[in-house]
Amino acid sequence: MRFENLSQQIGGCACHSLAGIGRANVVGGRNGPSLDSVGMAAIEVRGLEREFGGGVKAVRGVDLDVAEGEIYAFLGPNGAGKTTTVRMLTTLLRPTGGTAKVAGHDVVSDAGEVRKSIGVALQEAALDPLMTGRELIRLQATLHGLARAEGEKRAEELLDRVDIMYAADRRVGTYSGGMKRRLDLASALVHQPRVLFLDEPTTGLDPVSRKAIWEEVQALNDDGATIFLTTQYLEEADQLADRVGIIAGGLLVAEDTPRALKAEIGNAHVEIAVCDGELERAEKAVAHLGKPLPSRNGLLLLELGGGASGVAPVVRALDEAGLAVEGLDLVEPTLDDVFVARTGQHLESDGDGAAPDAEPAPVES
């Protein structure tokens, strides 16, 4: 994963201390801002297109808005246009149609101001293994025009924030994958960007390192940063995102809060195992408590309008009918169900995709 600060193309920019910013300890449900409540978009996209050689359109008219202070998860199978869209929004690739503004600046006519306002984390690693963590952050500070003393101070603050101060004077080549991701994050924060683009920030990490990155992303958002997140982990989107956008075939095919998207698929249902020969009687006993579904593998299936709160009445009804329950599972819709319904495939099992979305993109001014 690479944090593209685009330092060669950025002039001096104002930087402010991150000292005193707290860390979120729990990653949970999201109640973030919306455009209706905030009235300001950090990202505005209208009819965005990108056509490659041979007339292949990787992105075919995407419209989206991301509110200031929002975590927006962008999901899509390989080749869907996800990476191409991110590259256009971060000025790494020029659109061939439509418009896009990031932090109030047009990505084509005002690309320099966009670059000053964003931090970008691409998947390709770009950390010098021979440098120490402290040296790398100080170098980033120098590239952003900070005076030496201010750069040293910023390095201390950021290394402490991402919990790798203990390894600050070790060569980056000795860092674990999770440590490298956190160092990348620190380097992207040197200029305190208003908008962070994180491209699959936890891919390949162990569960502990993944949770640490989640907490840091949440902490950054709590401090006011807007996060545009691409991920192959649906749980990550479900836990972190205020809203989710799904792209397929170069078009945005679904967008809403995780809860609303899952609700479109249907309500939760229970799968109940009863004794042999008792399935029909059990179905009659609970039919009034929900919507009966076709049985599967000898299990009674019942859709519950009230979700988990509907389980207890079902158990009581079976007990009152003198039926023994051998097993009961509450199955709730997932983002994977949404993804399959909208794209026809599973995200996390998806293999390598089409070339247009994975095509290397040169930096264009």
**Lowest-confidence range among 30-44, 90-104, 304-318?**
30-44
List the structure tokens of 238: 């479900």
As a whole number, the mean pLDDT across the chain is: 83
Q: How confident is the model at residue 7 (pLDDT cuts 50, 70, 90)?
A: very low
Question: Which of the two residues, 267 and 280, has the higher pLDDT score?
Answer: 280
Place of tokens 């809060």: 257
Q: Please give the pLDDT value at position 125.
A: 61
Q: For residue range 21-58, what is the model confidence (pLDDT) as tens digits?
A: 232 322 334 556 655 544 579 999 999 999 999 889 99
Tell the residue number behind the tokens 């200029």, with chain if given: 191
Give the Cα separation of 66 and 263 in Å (integer).
Answer: 22
Pick the range with the lowest mean pLDDT from 158-167, 244-253, 334-343.
334-343
> Per DSSP, which regions of the chain are E strands?
2-3, 41-52, 56-67, 71-75, 97-102, 105-106, 118-122, 195-199, 226-230, 243-248, 251-256, 269-274, 291-296, 299-303, 325-331
How large is the average pLDDT for residues 152-164? 93
Domains 2-262+340-354 and 267-332 share a fold: no
- For residues 185 and 201, give the distance between their C-alpha atoms in angstroms, rounded to a whole number: 9
Q: How far apart are CA 90 and CA 214, in angstroms?
A: 22
Residue of 230, 10, 220 lying closest to 117 (CA atoms): 10
**Looking at the predicted structure, is the pLDDT value of residue 6 above 90?**
no
Alpha-carbon distances, residue 310 vs 11, 181, 279, 283, 299 (angstroms): 59, 43, 19, 15, 18
Structural domain boundaries of the chain? 2-262+340-354, 267-332
First to last CA, the chain: 23
Classify 31 as helix, strand or coil: coil
pLDDT in tens, 179-237: 988 898 888 888 889 999 998 888 878 888 888 889 989 999 999 999 999 988 888 99
> Residues 115-145: pLDDT tens digits?
999 998 777 667 899 999 999 999 999 988 8
2-262+340-354: CATH homologous superfamily? Answer: P-loop containing nucleotide triphosphate hydrolases (3.40.50.300)
Lowest mean pLDDT among 3-17, 74-88, 295-309: 3-17
CB-CB neighbours of 112 under 10 Å: 15
Check pLDDT > 50 for residue 358.
no
Higher pLDDT, 86 or 31: 86
* Pairing label, strands 105-106, 97-102: antiparallel
Domain 267-332: which CATH number of 3.50.50.60, 3.40.50.300, 3.30.70.980, 3.30.450.40: 3.30.70.980
Share of the chain above pLDDT 70, in %: 84
